[in-house]
């Protein structure tokens, strides 16, 4: 008969996620995980197979807690402009509260593990793609409903906001200053307010200059 697991797996994954989030994969040792989770080394190996296995479980938990709510909100048809603003400002709040002690587990995984771990690479790419697709659909719907200008292609706009989200997380570690980060948010959101400059007939001087150029 299989031995009953003697610890709360969910709680262990939560503690591991917090540790990996702050330190990254390489800087976190098995002993660090033992101390953080309160679970003995042998039990961790029995439950997750390896440090890598626990890292993947922590990464999945992070994706569920941090990325899924945004995707679900975008899929639910919430107005995209206030939703994006609230999302970006929540990242500002988190960065200021953390005061440079943590970035983003997805960003960290991309930089640290993506080149060498195909399981991590799949999870990171799936997460980024899911956010981009949800943003695209929400932005395209807003354009069709007349709530958003059509100057930008919605796919390009979605990729811009994926970049903004991840870039804001990095900047929040480097400079966790509310004014700095809020300025970046406000500037990014002006993309949604862009109104193309209407075409104006060339002035007399410009037409004369063009005519002279054409004659050469």
- pLDDT one-digit tens code per residue, 8-22: 999 999 999 999 999
Percent of the chain at pLDDT exceeding 70: 87
- Rounded to an integer, the average pLDDT of 36-40 is 96
Query: What mean pLDDT is reported for the chain?
Result: 89
Distance between CA 79 and CA 81 in Å, rounded?
Answer: 6
Distance between CA 119 and CA 114 in Å, rounded?
Answer: 8
Find the range with the poorest average confidence among 72-81, 123-132, 152-161, 172-181. 72-81
Domain positions in the chain? 9-192
Question: Hey, which CATH number is domain 9-192, 1.20.20.10, 3.30.1490.20, 3.60.15.10, 1.10.357.10?
Answer: 1.10.357.10
Q: Which residues contact 2 (CB under 8 A, 6 or more apart)?
A: none
Q: How confident is the model at residue 213 (pLDDT cuts 50, 70, 90)?
A: very low
pTM of the model: 0.84
């Amino acid at each position: 008969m299989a031995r009953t697991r003697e610890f709360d797996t969910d709680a262990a994954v939560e503690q591991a996620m917090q540790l990996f989030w702050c330190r990254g994969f390489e800087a976190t040792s098995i002993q660090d995980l033992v101390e953080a989770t309160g679970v003995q080394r042998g039990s961790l190996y029995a439950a997750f197979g390896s440090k890598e296995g626990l890292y993947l479980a922590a990464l999945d938990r992070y994706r569920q807690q941090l990325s899924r709510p945004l995707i679900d909100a975008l899929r639910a048809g919430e107005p995209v402009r206030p939703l994006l603003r609230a999302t970006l400002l929540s990242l500002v709040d988190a960065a200021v509260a953390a005061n440079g002690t943590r970035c983003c587990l997805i960003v960290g995984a991309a930089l640290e593990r993506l080149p060498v771990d195909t399981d991590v690479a799949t999870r990171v790419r799936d997460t980024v793609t899911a956010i981009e697709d949800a943003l695209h659909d929400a932005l395209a719907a807003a354009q069709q409903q007349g709530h958003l200008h059509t100057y930008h292609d919605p796919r390009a706009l979605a990729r811009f906001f994926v970049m903004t989200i991840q870039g804001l997380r990095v900047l929040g570690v480097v400079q966790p200053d509310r004014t700095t980060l809020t300025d970046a948010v406000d500037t990014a959101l002006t993309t949604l307010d862009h109104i193309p400059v209407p075409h104006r007939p060339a002035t007399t001087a410009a037409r004369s200059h063009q005519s002279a150029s054409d004659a050469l």
